Structures are given as structure tokens and as C-alpha cells.
Amino acid sequence: MVPKRLVLATAIFGLSITAQFVDNTYIWPNDETDLLEHMLYEHSGYHVNSPASFVVPCGNVPFGKGRSGPAEWLRTAYHDMANADVPSGKGGIDASIGFELDRDENPVGGCSGGKVVIPFRGGRIDATGPGARGVPKPEESLDSHVAAFERQGFTKDEMIGLVACGHTLGGVHGVDFPEIVDVVNNTSEDDNTQMFDTTIEGETAFDNKVATEFVSNNTQNPLAFGHNATTRSDGRIFNADGGALITKMAASNDFFLDTCRDLLERMTNTVPRTVRLGKPIGIIPVKPSSLYATIVPHTGKMNVTGFVRLISRKNSWDADPSRKVKIHFRPRSGSCSKSKYLVVEAGEFSWSRSLYHQGGFPYFKKYQFAQEIPISRGVSGFDVEVIDTTDGSTTSTMHTNGGKGFPFNDAVVTQPGLTCNGQKDDGLFNLTVAVRDDAKLGSVKARIQLPRPLDALVPRITDMMVDLKRVGGVPGANYTLFNVRQRLPVGTYTFTYDLIASNGTHTEKRVFNDVTEIKACHRD
């Protein structure tokens, strides 16, 4: 188990569900939410790594002819939650679906244009094996469906709404359910899919058409009016209250979307009782990344580099041409007076943005900085000054991360020039770390968070602990280098690692280091 990290449970929901607000109370860093925030809000541009590419635009179909990526993720999310037993506190959103794909209940194979925005909470914990069975099947009775949804924590009316929300996207694949949909085309080329409604394609596919077509008795939904009366589960469910709720959802698309927003949030937050979810993840207004300190031999200096991500004021990649960003480095030792801070101007480097362009989500501007700093002085952190000029008026705002600055620990630092990632070649991860001598940390380990394949599209995450060996000092720097050359499975393009250095009584950590910007290794 990898507690409270970005793993399969969160990846399931990071695709088309996000929160629309800026979190001005956030203190950086937070390893439980930082990568989640990045994946929720940054989908295109520099250094992005988001599953949103699977579902935006809504008609995106990466899984084959007749399949809908967004619909399959939404269905996967419900099937993962469906074994929840709320009274007993077991099951729910725990990624156990990855171990359950051999069951006949799970043949698992951005769509509202920003209108359905659901807060997402971190702190989820992946299951390490399959959970109980519990996904309702189309051939079951209405009483059986009502009982199943009550076990999951939903009333009869909420069952009706949740099924309608889930079936506004996608359809039934004949290759998986030939008893529901006739197989007429070659299954090697076509999944023989029959859609739930007539708006599967396009940016506005998440709409109430599944309800309006049912109420008008003019629908292609195979679970409502299919040729097999036994498997018409949608028809039985939509009429469970005499058709009152589905009629209301058909009458107003706004009501339909509001209902879906509430119910899908409830579904997303159905987790095992032992899991404690955090607050909704908002946009971090000032966010550092890719922080390194390269120890330069024979100079007594280190070269500190990194990026700062800011929100674009005019929501455009070419906005804010007059903005200036200055980094105020706080020393590790010596006077902490602000007048003693080293200041360097960061240059605009690149941008990133959300793909949910109709939801008012922002563009981000990324500013890069580099500064040589005497090792005797060191770095304990930095403040970020943002200077904006609008209509001839200049304002300066100092961001101090809650008053203590954005922390930077120069006791244990990865050396990017001596580190490389060979996952696209022979699997070599060659990691070199510099440890400051006066920290007296003789043991250095790396905990690698490594994706492992499952039958599901998203892997499970396992930990690999490796020891780094002392390889010598850095001349004139009072730093010692530690190295490990570890072979990892080829093709593992994205992973993270923690650094843990200790001396038996004291431990220093640098957690959740990303390998995205690490250069590729060449064959020996």
C-alpha cells in the first residue's frame, strides 16, 4: 500500500473532474496534493503529465472504434465504488477495480464543457487486492438494484439520478454483452456499440438527452428499450418512482447537470472508513517546481535552479508581458535580515493550461531562475516577488508562503548533471545525490514509487527501496556524493522517488521528486 499519494484511485477521477477555485491558504509543499493539483489543472504545455488527454475533447476515443474514453472512465469509477458497504465502512473508491477485471460484472472497456465541476479531494489509499463483489447487473430485479444502491449509500431517487448521469455518456458494447446488443460487425474491428443517447460525440455530450429521449419514449438506449426485456435495467430504474425524477431531469438541463454534480461528488467521496479525505484541492496560486542545487567543484558555490508557476492575469499564454518575477533567497546560515537576501530575476520560460477551456480555468505562466550561491551561505528557502504593471500603475506583491518562505533543503540534493533516466532505453536509473558534510548523514536511501502493470489501463504503484553508495567528495565544496545505478522495468516513463538520509538519530528527507525533467541515459 502506498498511502496518500497519487495512485490508481485518484487517477480514475483526475480525468474529467476538478475543482474551480484558488486556494490562497495553501502552504507549499504538500506531497499529498501537489502532483494531484498539477494533474487536475495542467493538461497542455510545458512539463505536463495528466490523464485528461484521454477524455478531452469529449469525443476522444483512444480505446478503439465504437468506444468512448470519457464514458469508460466514468463507468470504471462507478464500478470501483459499487462494492461499497457504507454501514460497515468497507469498499468504495479504493482502486480495487484493477484487481477485479476478471469478473463478469466488470467487462471494463471534460464532457460538460466545464459546466459540471466537481471538487476533488486527496488522501486516497489504493487497495492491494480485490474487494467484494457488488456491481448491479442489468438482468437483476428492481428490488435488487434498490438494495445495492442503499448499500452504497444512495436512496432510490439518488439511484435514478446516478444511473441517468452515468448513462449520458457511452453505451453498451455488444462484444461484452451480446445478450443485450446484437453483434453484427467483425469484433476484431468494431465493438458493436449501441449508444445510450444520440449525443455521444462533441463537446456538450454530458447533457440530459438520455433523460429527454427516455421520457419521449424515443430512445436508442439498449438498457431502456432493448430487444432483451430481462436486461432493461434503465427502464425499471427510471420508472422506480413512477418516472417523476427522470421527467424532471428531462425538463431542465440545468437541473440535470446540478443533480449530476452533487451525485458524482458523493460517489467520488465514497471511500473506506479508514480513509480520511483532505479538503477540496484548489489551484495553488504560486507554485515552485524542479528545484535543484548543483554543487560546483573547486568554487565553493552551488547553482540553484528552478521554476515558479503563476496564474496568468488575462487567461492567455501571451498575457502579462510586463510582469517581472524576482526570487529572494533566504540564507541557510548567517543573518536572516531581508536586506541580506540574494535576489535574482526569473525569466518567463513557458506556459501550461487546462483543457477545460469553457470552464474558466486559467492559463499558467512558468518563470525560470538560476543563481550561484556560496555554499557557506546556503539556501533555506526563498520568497517570490511579483511586479505587475497595468495602465502605467505598478504593484509589487511578495509571496512568503505563510511567512516562512518556500522551503529549500540544501542538505540532500539530487545532482541533475550526474543523474539520468534510461526508461526509454535499457531501464537504467542512474541517481547521484550530494549530501552536505556538516549534516553528518552517512546513510542515504531512495524510495522509488514505481508503476507496476495491471490488467487495468492505470497501473498500481509499488515502493522499491535502494541504498546509495558513497562515491567521493566534491572538491572544495564540503559535500559528498552518493550514487545508485538501478535497473527498472523498461518503459516506466514516469515515476517519483524520495530521498532519505540519516545518521541513526537524525533524518533528512526530500520527498516526491519527479523524474520528468531528468535527462535520458545513454547505453553503457
Provide the pLDDT for residue 284. Answer: 93
CA distance 277 to 248: 33
Across the chain, mean pLDDT equals: 82
Provide the pLDDT for residue 54. Answer: 61
The pTM is what? 0.81
- Beta strands 428-436 and 496-502 are unpaired
How many CB atoms sit inside 10 A of residue 262's CB? Answer: 15
Over residues 427-466, the pLDDT tens digits come to 888 999 999 999 999 999 999 988 776 655 566 778 899 9
CA distance 276 to 371: 40
> Kind and range of the H or E element at 68?
none
In which band, very low, low, confident or very high, does the pLDDT at 74 lie, cut at 50, 70 and 90?
A: confident
Mean predicted confidence (pLDDT) in 38-59: 74
Provide the pLDDT for residue 99. Answer: 63
Q: Strand, coil or helix: what is 129? A: coil
Q: Among 99-103, 388-392, 503-507, where is mean pLDDT lowest?
A: 99-103
Over residues 470-480, the pLDDT tens digits come to 999 999 999 99
pLDDT of 524 higher than 70: no
Q: Among 41-45, 263-267, 468-472, where is mean pLDDT lowest?
A: 41-45
Provide the pLDDT for residue 496. Answer: 84
pLDDT of 16 higher than 70: no
Higher-pLDDT residue of 359, 1: 359
* Omega of the bond leading into 107 within 30 degrees of 0 (cis): no
Provide the pLDDT for residue 516. Answer: 76
Mean predicted confidence (pLDDT) in 145-166: 94
Q: Find, among 439, 436, 459, 434, the residue nearest to 449 by Cα.
A: 459
> Is 412-514 CATH 2.60.40.10?
yes
Q: Find, among 326, 307, 436, the residue nearest to 375 by Cα.
A: 436
The percentage of the chain sitting over the pLDDT mark of 70, rounded to a whole number, equals 80
pLDDT of 7 higher than 80: no
Provide the pLDDT for residue 482. Answer: 98
**DSSP single-letter state for residue 133:** -
Q: Among 149-163, 177-191, 388-402, 504-518, where is mean pLDDT lowest?
A: 177-191
Provide the pLDDT for residue 59. Answer: 58
Mean predicted confidence (pLDDT) in 80-89: 83
Q: Among 74-78, 83-87, 373-377, 479-483, where is mean pLDDT lowest?
A: 74-78
The answer to whether 268 and 281 have CB atoms below 8 angstroms apart is no
Provide the pLDDT for residue 158. Answer: 96
- The residues spanned by each domain of the chain are 61-279, 412-514
CA distance 76 to 82: 10
Higher-pLDDT residue of 202, 413: 413
pLDDT of 494 higher than 80: no
Q: Find, among 365, 379, 368, 441, the residue nearest to 410 by Cα.
A: 379
